[in-house]
Amino acid sequence: MMLDDFMMRATLAGIGVALAVAPLGCFVVWRRMAYFGDATAHAAILGIALSLALSISVFAGAMAIALLMALTVNLLTGRGYAMDTLLGVLAHSALAFGLVAVSFLSGIRIDLMAYLFGDILAVSRMDLLVIWGGAALVVALIGWRWSALLTATLNEDLAYASGIDPRREQLVLTLALAITVAVAIKVVGVLLIAAMLIIPAAAARPLSRTPESMALVAAGIGSVAALIGLRAAYIFDTPAGPSIVCVAALIFAALSIAGSLRTSAS
Amino acid sequence: MSLVCVENVSISYGAKTVLSHVSLSVDPGEIVTIVGPNGSGKTSLLRTIIGAVKPARGRVTRGSDVRLGYVPQRLHIDPTLPMTVARFLALPRGVAPEAIGDALTQAGVPDLSKSQMSRLSGGQFQRVLLARALIGKPHLLLLDEATQGLDQPGSAAFYRQIESVRRDTGCAVLMISHELHVVMSASDRVICLNGHVCCEGTPEVVASAPEYRALFGSGTMGALALYRHDHDHGHDHTEAAE
């Protein structure tokens, strides 16, 4: 059975994450919320510590805290602090509390590195199920709200005039982000989730004329990065998650240079 | 039967009241212009009508089948967001390609459907916004300082376009403008706002009203020679915004 091969499971996990983050990553780029992804991911460490302490699933714990974090940010925005200050306070304090909480778990040995940088080669069949289930959920959620989200991203008043509540759309995005973070932790780890959100979307920009094509191209670039990155990690014996991000970054660089050459030529 | 009815509406942001006890209504086919100094609550009033702001008191009613077309004050599209004009016009519900062509023609920019939004000039951008507002065949067109950033000939041409749209489609128009001389000649009715409705009526009536003169002085009236009357008594507005 092909799922017996750990490389095959890792590849499927990588592609699953790449597909889920592509449309979401586009919105993160368009709405300039790159740091929001970072903050949600950092908060997830606290969720992991709590879920180990309470012996519940890591996925559920990470998602619950990521969600809580996202809702808190939603609630606190526009109340005196700038968004980046607020995210900085919440993200780093959640990370610190998480690391402190982990140190209390004396009875259990946990490999923190595995959660910071991901451990895609250790993906089990069950993990694969969670990843693809989560990815399908995120893609369905974003696909369902796509036009409304796009309108709210362009301009809030334009959304209101079309009968769309931009705050509700923001909530949908936040929810999708929390699910994605929880799903992707195993694959790329907390520190690199934001990279997988942003780099393929940014790389897709010069190739796209419509928002839809940008999301599709981003999904393609993310998948290619996962394939090549895993292969490279296997050949050069490098850590898998970071290798995937490196390949995505190289694709971004190549497409950006090609894009600017084309612009200056025309 | 009015398209939209604002009854005794007050709006506050925190402790600050920006509008108090404002009532107005717009009837089918008329062009109504709201004028007023900065901070007089013009934009808040328009945002209340589209449902973006909840009034602290009073209510806004509009017929269940009344369609709105809204042109916002300014719209920044992030350069990372690729967007053709045609795709922009089809948001959020999707429309037939012919409808896109029709709306662009009506707005005076028939050839732009394949252009990227980020490549448009200021005047083209405003007309594309107008086209998007027209695409749903609105009964009421709402414009918030739609000619901001356009030069004088550009904004004059834009307002002529609005008049021709009204002539062709029969829709009503409610707009905010600071370009009094351009706008007032094209309006059926003018509402002068400064935290409350100072005065309203035909352009001639408003231009000669002492309340209006107190807000804008007679200095701005040079280009409004048509409406110049000499009323010389004062009207104190210092507590109007309270």
For the segment A6-21, the average pLDDT, to the nearest whole number, is 90
Local confidence band at A2 (pLDDT 50, 70, 90 cut-offs): low
Q: What sign does the CA torsion over A131, A132, A134, A138 have? A: positive
For residues B206 and A158, which has the higher predicted lDDT (pLDDT)?
Answer: A158
Residue of A nearest to B71 (CA): A158
For the segment A8-33, the average pLDDT, to the nearest whole number, is 91
A120-142 residue pLDDT tens = 888 888 889 989 999 999 999 99
For chain B, report the end-to-end CA distance as a whole number of angstroms.
Answer: 33
Ranges A110-114, A142-146, B104-108: which has the least confidence? A110-114
B76-87 residue pLDDT tens = 888 899 999 999
B29: closest CA of chain A, how far (Å): 20
Residue of B nearest to A167 (CA): B52
Q: What is the pLDDT of residue A235?
A: 92
The CA distances from residue B5 to A28, A171, A222, B28, B49, in Å, are 39, 32, 51, 12, 9
For residues A22 and A99, which has the higher predicted lDDT (pLDDT)?
Answer: A22
Local confidence band at A3 (pLDDT 50, 70, 90 cut-offs): low
- B38, two tokens: 């900065």
Which residues of chain B fall below pLDDT 50?
Answer: 220-234, 236-242
Q: What is the pLDDT of residue B95?
A: 82
Q: What is the pLDDT of residue A200?
A: 95
Local confidence band at A78 (pLDDT 50, 70, 90 cut-offs): low
Ranges A45-49, A260-264, B134-138: which has the least confidence? A260-264
Q: What is the pLDDT of residue A266?
A: 59
Q: What is the pLDDT of residue A137?
A: 94
Q: Confirm or reject contact between A147 and chain B (CB < 8 A).
A: yes
**For chain B, which residues make up each domain, given as ranges?**
1-67+171-233
DSSP state, A79?
S
Q: What is the pLDDT of residue B226?
A: 38
Q: Confirm or reject contact between A148 and chain B (CB < 8 A).
A: yes
For residues A48 and A246, which has the higher predicted lDDT (pLDDT)?
Answer: A246
Which alpha helices (DSSP H) does A31-165 contain, by range? Answer: 34-53, 58-76, 83-104, 112-117, 125-154, 156-161
For the segment A34-62, the average pLDDT, to the nearest whole number, is 84
- Report chain B residues whose CB lies below 8 A from the CB of A31: 78
Predicted ipTM of the assembly: 0.79
For the segment A145-154, the average pLDDT, to the nearest whole number, is 92
A148: closest CA of chain B, how far (Å): 6
CATH fold for the domain made of A2-193: ABC transporter involved in vitamin B12 uptake, BtuC (1.10.3470)
Q: What is the pLDDT of residue A185?
A: 84
- B220, two tokens: 């701005």
B81 with A147: Cβ contact below 8 A: no
Which residues 108-127 of chain B have a CB within 8 Å of chain A? Answer: 116
Q: What is the pLDDT of residue B240?
A: 40
Q: What is the pLDDT of residue B218?
A: 57
- Report chain A residues whose CB lies below 8 A from the CB of B75: 154-155, 158
Q: Give domain B1-67+171-233's CATH superfamily.
A: P-loop containing nucleotide triphosphate hydrolases (3.40.50.300)
pLDDT of A11 > 60? The answer is yes
* Beta carbon pairs, A and B, within 8 Å: 66
Q: What is the pLDDT of residue A251?
A: 96
Between CA A50 and CA B98 the distance in angstroms is: 57
Q: What is the pLDDT of residue A124?
A: 87
Ranges A21-35, A218-232, A240-254, B187-201: which has the least confidence? B187-201
- Report chain B residues whose CB lies below 8 A from the CB of A157: 47, 50, 52, 70, 72
A170-222 residue pLDDT tens = 889 988 988 888 888 878 888 788 889 999 999 999 999 999 999 999 999 99
Q: Confirm or reject contact between B54 and chain A (CB < 8 A).
A: no
Local confidence band at A144 (pLDDT 50, 70, 90 cut-offs): very high
